[in-house]
């Protein structure tokens, strides 16, 4: 055990976060996301018993966001005509603004199928048990200063 590290961050996840370099991407995937098929070329970490918000909050305590891009945080955009509400996005915004030096403008959206393509290039995907729809979030790592 370590002091100051959120307990939800497993040794496997901490190792992956440490290995990632500037501009590498991490996907925190909801329970419906095809993590194993999209993540064939990535490291897939199973955290099925955990929600996306608790993981995002813990990760952003140790993970710097990229300061050189407009949107170091990206959400999967809701498909046009899909009558889905996304209250989890407000929680994400709250966590990002509380845990980083960035404001809500750091959060962008990527069209659903483009999100899958970008996720295929991610360094790692965390497969959560998150039940909220459109709860997938992609983080781009910055530098530790």
Render pLDDT for 75-89 as a digit per residue (tens, 0 to 9). 999 999 999 999 999
pLDDT at 19 over 90: yes
Going 2 to 16 to 143 to 96, the CA torsion angle's sign is negative
Report how far residue 66's alpha carbon sits from residue 33's, in angstroms, rounded to the nearest whole number.
24
Render pLDDT for 47-64 as a digit per residue (tens, 0 to 9). 999 999 999 999 999 999
Report how far residue 14's alpha carbon sits from residue 127's, in angstroms, rounded to the nearest whole number.
15
Say if residues 124 and 19 touch (Cβ distance below 8 Å). no
22 is catalytic: yes
Q: Spot the catalytic one: 66, 92, 123, 134.
A: 66
Angle between helices 88-99 and 52-59 (to 10 degrees): 10
pLDDT at 89: 98
116 is catalytic: yes
103 is catalytic: no
pLDDT at 145 over 90: no
Report how far residue 92's alpha carbon sits from residue 135's, in angstroms, rounded to the nearest whole number.
9
Count of beta carbons in the 10 Å neighbourhood of residue 139: 24
Say if residues 50 and 132 touch (Cβ distance below 8 Å). no
Q: How many CA atoms lie within 13 A of 44 on its CB side?
A: 17
Count of beta carbons in the 10 Å neighbourhood of residue 23: 14
Report how far residue 27's alpha carbon sits from residue 17's, in angstroms, rounded to the nearest whole number.
12
Report how far residue 94's alpha carbon sits from residue 88's, in angstroms, rounded to the nearest whole number.
10
Q: Map out the domains of the chain with their CATH numbers.
A: 23-140 (3.40.1650.10)
């Amino acid at each position: 055990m370590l002091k100051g590290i959120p307990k939800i961050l497993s040794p496997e996840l901490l190792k992956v976060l440490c290995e990632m370099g500037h501009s590498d991407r991490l996907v925190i995937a909801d329970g419906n996301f095809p993590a194993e098929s999209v993540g064939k070329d990535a490291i897939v970490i199973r955290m099925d018993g955990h929600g996306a918000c608790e993981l995002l909050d813990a990760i952003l305590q140790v993970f710097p966001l990229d300061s050189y891009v407009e949107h170091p945080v990206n959400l999967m955009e809701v498909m046009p005509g899909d009558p889905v509400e996304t209250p989890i996005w407000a929680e994400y915004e709250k966590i990002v603004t509380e845990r980083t030096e960035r404001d809500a403008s750091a959060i962008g959206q990527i069209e659903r199928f483009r999100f899958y393509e970008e996720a295929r290039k991610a360094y790692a995907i965390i497969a959560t048990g998150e039940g909220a729809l459109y709860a997938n979030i992609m983080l781009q790592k910055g530098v530790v200063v």
